[in-house]
Structure 1
Amino acid sequence: MVDEIKKAFDEAERIGVIGSPSSTGGLTIDILGTAVSKRLVGNLSVFNYTQEGKDHYALGQITEITMQNVWTQDPTMRGLIRQKGRVDPITERQDVHTAKMTISSVFAKTERGVDQSILGTVPSTGTPIKLLNEDIMNALLRNYKEELFYLGRAYGTNVKMPMWFKHFGTGNFGVGEAYHIGVFGKTGSGKSVLAKMMMLGYARHKEMSIFVLDPQGEFARDVKRYGPIKKILKNLDRKVEVYDLHNLVLTGWDLFKRILVNSGFFERLGIYHETNKMQASNEVERALRSTRAQTTLTGQSSGQIPPYKAYEKTAFERVWNALGDETVQSRIYTSRDTRERLRSTYEGSDSEEFYNLWKKVANLFKFEGKTNAVKIIDLVKKINDSEGSIVIIDLSESEVPEDMLWNDSIKLIVIGEFLDRITQEAESKYKENTLLNCLVIIDEAHRLAPREKTENEDLERVKASLKDAIRTTRKYGLGWMFISQTLSSLDREIINQIRIYVFGFGLAWGVERQALREIIGGAEEAIRLYQMFRDPQSSLGKREYPFMTIGPISPLSFSGTPLFFTALEYPNEFLKVNFGVENES
């Protein structure tokens, strides 16, 4: 294998030599005259050097090229050039092209084969720099071949960029802890498609569970239409389940009361203040949990009525009677004036109109008549299956049943319930000395965890749950992937806890650039290369989706330096490269 590396390196194309000044933080490359016309920015390059008596191969990406001609900087010569234009042999021939190369990984030849190392010294000037090709890559990474996965090609080249997506458990191909991931980019940058590709990378591990909170239905549509995700998961022998409001059953009195408060039910009775609405919801619970016999319009009603039976007319009539009771009204409002106003509104109301709204709320908790009805707690328990589960929860409003109430407030309450349940499950497993080994993917994350404080209590509750989860669940084996259109408006604490960052087009200017700089520090060359990304939507021909990534996502980035790649064409090229299958339309 070692001879194979040397042979591949010797046959690679030379583009330059190490120049001066150079440091372990970044190398200056003097470009050969034969290579100045090549597209080198973004190229992966490699050089061979000796460190502590061992052969080393250092890999890096060219982030910037500059040209300097000291002769043309002379004022007299500038005047001549201004008159004549090209001046032989000064112009072009005396141009010196230099490149900036950032080292991302180093491999050392050892008795055991090839091991990771670091750039612990600066090789001498004149050390040849060669273009990294797939022969060198395959030779260096032969021991990791089964772990490799490909999202794209090195920016501006045809060389596939190797990635790895290890599960969060222990054992083969596991890292023993969870990673938090952020995928960022403006609308049309390809971030959602890339997130699907990353999800399929993790889905290869059967012991790993994946949950997708899908507020826009992006992932669910792909599966329901038997798209690429569904086909690949079938080939991987992974079962994927999609749940929406036709299947989801909410449970518990606390959830019932919170949704009732947010439904507008009490506002119609003239109860507007949050405290009074919560008191009214407590009275609703008291009425339904009462065990004494009561007379309603439809007959005798006795015994407790749980939330999953609240859709029945007798349940509503019991609640309606209670809300008309003076004792109950006095507990909702202590002031006589407000009590009188409530009583007047109640007596002038059509109970059937209120029942229609009540039923839409109660149907969220109803089992009867729902296909594959499932509770949130049961979804979370699926993580404990012998083989990991892949569950997509479609919370979009595209297919909301007409007999159910669904709005942004209720959506937030349901998301918050799921976050709390899965965090509790992860903590419980950890106490049993077991890692959960689960990734939760959240689309449109900036809507759930905005940086600025809002007056929406349900949104703030969800944000607090997310912040608490991302701080504590890494060691539980529970990782989070946040997909967001923006960096600057996502909560700062969440951004700081992310381990793997992927940036698509659209974050290079203004406050987004400032947020980007805070993450990658002083790597100005990387920011300048990122700013060169073309808008995929303005492409004249085939669209290309460029990305910059930071973190332990590739064997070419031991040091965490930024890597740049262009995503594989999805689904055809992606499926062929990673799974050896053609996409059949």
Structure 2
Amino acid sequence: MVEYISIGSTRNRQFYGIVRSSSLGNELLGRLGFLRFNAGNSNISVLCQIISVDRRNTVHEDGSFGPVIAARGSIPYLSSIGDYEEAIAKPIAQQVNGSAAPLRANPPSGSQIVSLDDNSLMSEEEQKNPQIIFNSFAPVSESYLRYPGSLVGEAINVPIICKSFNPADDNGWGEARHAIFLGRSGSGKTHAAKIMLALYLLSTRTMGAFIPDGKGDFIRPSGRDLNLRNFLEANGRNVQVIHIEDLRLENTDQLQELLSIENFQRLVAPSIAPDKWRLLLELTLEKFTDEDEKLIVEGDKAISQEKFLEKFNDSLEFVYAETGKKLDVRIEKLKKSQEDNLTKITSLWNRVLKRFTEGEKLIDIVDHVLIEGKIYFLNIDSYNTSVNVFILGTLYKRFRSRALNLYKSRQKYANAIVYVDEANRFIPQSPKDEKQKELQEKLIDGIKTTRQYGLAWWLADQRPSAISKDAFTQMGTFFFGKGMTAVADQTNMESVLGKDGCNVYSYVATMGGSPFVASGQFIGVGSSESVAVPMQFFKDWQTLADQNNETLDACIQAGTTNNNS
């Protein structure tokens, strides 16, 4: 046990004191510690966080010594040895006689805030260790706790709360909980997301998940990266892997968008103005659309390249005011251009139409996740392809609408996570065009509404300022990794952590490795959701399994020792 601070006063429910000489010079900012004192017949224990540490020397601060210091640089027997550190600690959880109590502690002066291995809090009869004592300050019982990592600089694990998102589950959260992982490239945010996904999907085995992968982090991890699929399967969860090329689209408006993305116009009607092209495309595709707005791909009315071009050319008369010979000349000219480009038209058409005739329907994947609790990894190869981003955005919108529909039509809740990597592509702060704005608005609406139906959205990105504020403020748990240096990012972070939490982050971000500052609903540290907890995620599955199984009834299997085998 190390004595950190001797308390001198309590103001605004914060403890002000002097850092003990044994801790002088050690960086205490952000550290957690225990305070224990007696009040009458009550034994009061308080879990605290040190939120401010300032070094002072009253002699050096005295202006009358200025000339001496200017000439000598230091004053013998008064410089250095006269230094002391002032500190402020914030209470984050309290117990009275071992039971949770409101934060009302007012300790006498001279009370000590000590390190988390304080033996005075342990009972020999109960054979408690520091981790179990620390867990006792969590707002839920240990059965709902899991460890994703440890406190920075401490041999104490950080407990997170894992509960069902299904509102119908008696012991669940009551609704889904959103989360966001932030940090520059290489900060470890994907590593952090994998661990959080693993713990949640193992803690609630009826929970489904949809996880797209555009970088190979989930489907083809390197030998040094965590293999989430292998880990989940080693623990009895099946993972379905599907390629984006094997998804089947259905709606006519999706074909219209894909043809536009693929610049089909340059082959079919290069001389037609964009507004007339869009109108012609709508008129043509109406002929191949059923009453449910789905593209007809089977039967006598099924779309084909030949039928499409015929209907497209026939629709010219509804777009142009020309009649007679002028119109005939325009049509013949267009047909000639199409004949010249026929090979390219056929190649592009077959590639696009294949997405509507083969593969697994989007609605089936969505239902497997929301209704059956299945886990899907979607291989999209790259986020830099407009077609992939469009299809993935379409899937995200389908999750939103389906979660609502299941509740409205069947009174059925979901229990699932949708993971959105590179969230700024789908929920940007500043959409680049109307289509991206429409997607952004629908996903923001989904984030705001689907949690009451049991569907959680977990986002990941490099910068919080790149994501819509309307989405950012809906998140329930935040993981801030390295890279939050821009003013706009600092502002977003301060809205979550406050100034004190940002001070903790500024210190933690200077450390080596991949530290995070975590805050929010999942963090089982204290009774407040606003605690800024400095943590580092476990490096491998073996450590995660060992630490969780040691003090929690987790029953987690590490699988193979090689993360990627």
> Is the TM-score greater than 0.5?
yes
Q: 507, 510, 532: which is aligned to 1:562?
A: 532
Change over 3 Å in CA distance of 1:274–1:467 after alignment to 2: farther
Q: What does residue 428 of structure 2 align with?
A: 450
- Give the whole-Å Cα distance in 1 for the aligned partners of 2:462 and 2:328: 48
SS in structure 1 at match of 2:430: coil
Residue 130 of structure 2 contacts residue 156 of structure 2 at CA under 8 Å; is this kept in 1? no
Return 427-436 or 176-185, whichever deviates more.
427-436
Q: What does residue 107 of structure 2 align with?
A: 123
Q: What does residue 253 of structure 1 align with?
A: 252
Change over 3 Å in CA distance of 1:274–1:51 after alignment to 2: farther
Change over 3 Å in CA distance of 1:390–1:128 after alignment to 2: same
SS in structure 2 at match of 1:99: strand
Change over 3 Å in CA distance of 1:108–1:91 after alignment to 2: same
- Give the whole-Å Cα distance in 2 for the aligned partners of 1:339 and 1:564: 73
Cα drift, residue 318 of structure 1: 2.0
Residue 135 (structure 2) pairs with residue 141 (structure 1) = yes
Residue 410 (structure 2) pairs with residue 422 (structure 1) = no
Residue 487 of structure 1 contacts residue 515 of structure 1 at CA under 8 Å; is this kept in 2? yes
Residue 270 (structure 2) pairs with residue 270 (structure 1) = yes
- Give the whole-Å Cα distance in 2 for the aligned partners of 1:434 and 1:49: 50
Residue 484 (structure 2) pairs with residue 507 (structure 1) = yes
Residue 149 of structure 1 contacts residue 164 of structure 1 at CA under 8 Å; is this kept in 2? yes
Which structure 2 residues correspond to residues 28-427 of structure 1 after superposition, within 5 A? Answer: 28-49=16-37, 54-109=42-97, 114-115=99-100, 117-133=101-117, 135-141=129-135, 144-169=141-166, 170-171=168-169, 174-204=172-202, 205-222=204-221, 228-268=227-267, 269-270=269-270, 273-288=273-288, 306-307=296-297, 315-325=304-314, 328-334=315-321, 341=330, 343-349=332-338, 350=340, 351-367=342-358, 373-383=359-369, 385-386=371-372, 388-397=373-382, 408-427=385-404
- Give the TM-score of the pair, scaled to structure 2: 0.84
Where structure 1 has 5 or more consecutive residues not aligned to the other structure, the ranges are: 1-11, 291-303, 368-372, 399-406
Q: Percent identity?
A: 21
Deviations 1:141-165 (A, max 9, x none): 3683332222222223332222223
- Give the whole-Å Cα distance in 2 for the aligned partners of 1:318 and 1:333: 21
Q: What does residue 473 of structure 1 align with?
A: 450
Deviations 1:495-549 (A, max 9, x none): 11111111111113322212222333xx32321221224467xx5xxxx111112
Return 431-440 or 479-488, whichever deviates more.
431-440
Across the aligned residues of Structure 1 and Structure 2, the Cα RMSD in angstroms comes to 3.2
Cα drift, residue 22 of structure 1: 3.3
SS in structure 2 at match of 1:508: coil
- Give the whole-Å Cα distance in 1 for the aligned partners of 2:90 and 2:233: 40
SS in structure 2 at match of 1:98: strand
- Give the letter for the 2:310 counterpart: N
Return 464-473 or 526-535, whichever deviates more.
526-535
Cα drift, residue 46 of structure 1: 1.0
Residue 213 of structure 1 contacts residue 442 of structure 1 at CA under 8 Å; is this kept in 2? yes
Q: What does residue 525 of structure 1 align with?
A: 500
SS in structure 2 at match of 1:497: coil
- Give the whole-Å Cα distance in 2 for the aligned partners of 1:51 and 1:234: 52
Residue 160 of structure 2 contacts residue 524 of structure 2 at CA under 8 Å; is this kept in 1? yes
Residue 215 of structure 1 contacts residue 444 of structure 1 at CA under 8 Å; is this kept in 2? no
- Give the letter for the 2:152 counterpart: Y
- Give the TM-score of the pair, scaled to structure 1: 0.82
Cα drift, residue 53 of structure 1: 6.1
Q: What does residue 545 of structure 1 align with?
A: 514
- Give the whole-Å Cα distance in 2 for the aligned partners of 1:345 and 1:385: 49
Where structure 2 has 5 or more consecutive residues not aligned to the other structure, the ranges are: 119-128, 549-555
- Give the letter for the 1:235 counterpart: A
Change over 3 Å in CA distance of 1:287–1:163 after alignment to 2: closer
The size of the alignment, in residue pairs, is: 529
